Structure 1
Amino acid sequence: MTAKPMTKTQLVAALAEAMGSDRKVAAAALDAVAEVVAREVAAGGTVTLPGIGKVACKERPERQVRNPATGEMVTKAADKQVKITVAKALKDSVNG
């Protein structure tokens, strides 16, 4: 049985406790980090979150894909994909 994912409210509460501040400050900090990461990755950059991993944008070329409903091969336009590489420190803490 897997645990439920932590909600934003729970994350803000835990962050506020870790920072020794109130929830309003913690929520603003979390929102600011999310905004900066999204803006940088959307611009094609990479963001390293120490102890967590790297978030990067990877461009994928136009390619042939199969429509699972019909089996027909169709051309999918070039697009971008967000990739997250987990940091070794986080992997080690989970597996340690």
Structure 2
Amino acid sequence: MKAAKQKEYQVSASKSDIVDRVSEETGVSKAVASNIITKAFDQVASALASDGEVKIHGFGNFVVKATKERQARNPATGVTITVPAGRKVSFKPSSDLKKAI
């Protein structure tokens, strides 16, 4: 018989986890690390809003993509609704990041 294949579960890292790691690895206080992380995220969001693309060498690319209007169904009621066109952020990891994972 074949051995049962174990499922691998993803462990997520919250912003506070990242702040803790940066603080420990750099020796700065958690407040300073939190401020740096927040500013970095703010800059990525700002660049996406204005330019629509952020490229971080060795990590990956964030790109704003347009979504089309579409039909969706409420699973609880079965009612069909129209979801308006919008924008979403897409991430494509770099080959370096893919290798590291």
**TM-score interval for Structure 1 and Structure 2 normalised by the shorter chain:** 0.7 to 0.9
TM-score (normalised: structure 1): 0.75
Match of 1:13 in 2: 20
Q: Which runs of 4+ in 1 moved over 4 A?
A: none
- Are the equivalent residues in 1 in contact too, given 2:72–2:83 (CA < 8 A)? no
| Larger mean Cα displacement after TM superposition, 83-92 or 37-46 | 37-46
Give the Cα separation in 2 of the matches to 1:61 and 1:10.
35
Aligned counterpart for 1:54 among listed residues 57, 61, 84: 61
Is structure 2 residue 68 aligned with structure 1 residue 24? no
- Are the equivalent residues in 2 in contact too, given 1:44–1:56 (CA < 8 A)? no
Match of 2:41 in 1: 34
> Aligned residues, how many?
92
Q: CA RMSD of the aligned region, Å?
A: 2.3
Point out where structure 1 has 5 or more consecutive residues left out of the alignment. none
TM-score (normalised: structure 2): 0.72
Q: For residues 9-43 of structure 1, what are the alpha-carbon distances to aligned partners after superposition, in whole Å with 9 as ceiling and x for unaligned?
A: 22112112333322222111100011111122123
Match of 1:93 in 2: 100
Point out where structure 2 has 5 or more consecutive residues left out of the alignment. 1-7
